[in-house]
Amino acid sequence: MQRTLVIGLGTMGSVHTKAFYEMPDAELVGVVDRNLEKRQQFSERYETNEYETFQEALTKLNERIDVVSICLPTDEHPEYVKQAADAGIHVICEKPIARTPELARELIDYCKEKKVQLFVGHVVRFFQEYVEAKQVIDSGAIGKINVVRTRRGGAFPQVPSDWYSDYSRSGGLVLDTIIHDFDFLRWCFGNVTRVYAKSIAGAKGVNEKKRDYASVTLRFASGVIAHVEGTWAHRQFSTAFEFSGTDGVIDYDSQKQKAVITEIHQTEGSGAGVAVPESPLQLSPYDRELRHFISCIETGSEPVVTAEDAYEAVVISHAALASIADGEVVEITAEGVKSS
């Protein structure tokens, strides 16, 4: 049984709190938020303790915390990850792990030094549509994949503090939203070597109308080319992907269908392609992710998404941001990111 504390009661903090409250292998020992009314509401609803600060929770719970979930704005992650590590508490941190690759590396090394585990919430790896697509890719059913297209986004995120509109804090659309696709595609195809990107907001990250639309082209060491689109310019959130292989296509669009369609090219005269629907799940992807992280702590097993994976996703995101800023192709090498 892992005793859990949630810091930050915004959208993701709400998800984490509910998940831990209902989880058989976790005990929700408290919630932390600066807003008194909000934390009291959560305390009553989920029958737990409420605290204004992390330090207050540490003092009053007296070492009764095994895991802390950090659900705060991106720029606040380093402070709280280090505080938890100093207290010997395992960390679940919402993505992105940090605002820059340098900070991300620092946090990973810090947690290793303090001998605590660090998990990062790249939840797309737990969405059934994406899990199913990777299984088909790995099976070789659609042959060698050469071209990929993904899309993700909707309206500009609205939160009381409006921190998303501060590019120095959030990293904008690229670092906050389509980093999900960067991580998923790297999971499928390995390391990225070249990045070229354009966006509406340009180097400022967020324009005056709080809208952005970005297009990022990734070249992988494996030879795959991926076209990644992200938007904060539409009203409704949606995701989509298409994987084109030599023997078939995997296609999904949340606005058009509720199943992943796999079309296998048949020999002439053998009939149409085969549609493979997804299976409905009782648990949400967020529940599955958090239960997986808790299981990894209990068993010492390797997580589906590692802290190193989270670091690489930030590296790809920053390569895209650098390309948007200077209009050049950016190369990712073992030595780091550089413009061509």
For 213-254, write each residue's pLDDT tens digit. 999 999 999 999 999 999 998 888 999 999 999 999 999 999
Top-level class of domain 2-123+289-306:
alpha beta
Which structure tokens are listed for 56? Answer: 């207050």
Task: Identify whether the C-beta of residue 91 lies closer than 8 Å to the C-beta of residue 118.
Answer: yes
CA angle 124, 294, 287 (to 5 degrees): 45
- Please report, as a single letter, which amino acid is at residue 92: I
- Which residue in the block uniquely carries the two structure tokens 């990045």? 195
pLDDT in tens, 13-29: 999 999 999 999 999 99
Which stretches of the chain are assigned E, i.e. beta strand?
2-7, 26-32, 49-51, 67-70, 90-94, 118-121, 145-153, 192-199, 213-220, 225-231, 238-245, 248-253, 261-264, 330-333, 336-339
Helix (H, G, I), strand (E, B) or coil at 7: strand
CA distance 106 to 101: 9
CA distance 91 to 298: 14
Rounded to the nearest 10 degrees, what angle do helices 77-86 and 54-61 cross at?
A: 20
Task: Identify whether the C-beta of residue 218 lies closer than 8 Å to the C-beta of residue 192.
Answer: yes
Question: Residue 136's closest CA among 270, 259, 271, 11?
Answer: 259
CATH 3.30.360.10 residue ranges of the chain are 124-280+311-339
pLDDT in tens, 252-296: 999 886 667 666 655 444 333 323 333 345 789 999 999 999 999
CATH topology of domain 124-280+311-339: Dihydrodipicolinate Reductase; domain 2 (3.30.360)
pTM of the model: 0.91
Q: Taken in order 232, 233, 238, 241, is the CA torsion positive or negative?
A: negative
pLDDT in tens, 60-78: 997 789 999 999 999 999 9
CATH 3.40.50.720 residue ranges of the chain are 2-123+289-306
